[in-house]
Amino acid sequence: MKTSCKIVALASLVILSACGNRGALEPPNGQSLPQAVYGEAERPTGEELITPSTQAQPERSDELLRRSEKRQDDKFDLPPTG
């Protein structure tokens, strides 16, 4: 009994995952996109609104340590009190 429930749940998840909209993003009926930002001539499109900015998604810095270096003494790195 439990196996059949798991199969039904898995099948429903697979079916629901295929229900994505692949068309262009448009506002719901009766609503419009937000107004243009102050100083801009055009309103942003739906795709521009969902694209994260570089501040929201910064680039990764993969700076590798090329050689071992001795750490400098940090006078503010104090042991915990107590």
Q: Where are the beta strands (DSSP E) in the chain?
A: none
Q: Which of 17, 47, 22 is nearest to 33 (CA)?
A: 47
Q: Give the model confidence (pLDDT) of 18-76 as tens digits.
A: 666 667 777 788 888 788 888 888 888 888 888 888 788 777 777 677 777 787 888 88
Provide the pLDDT for residue 8: 84
- The label of the residue with tokens 């629901």 reads 16
Indicate if the pLDDT at residue 1 is higher than 60: no
Question: Does residue 2 surpass a pLDDT of 60?
Answer: yes
Contact between 23 and 47 (Cβ < 8 Å): no
8 Å CB contact between 35 and 43: yes
Q: Would you state the pLDDT for residue 68?
A: 77
Report pLDDT for 52.
87
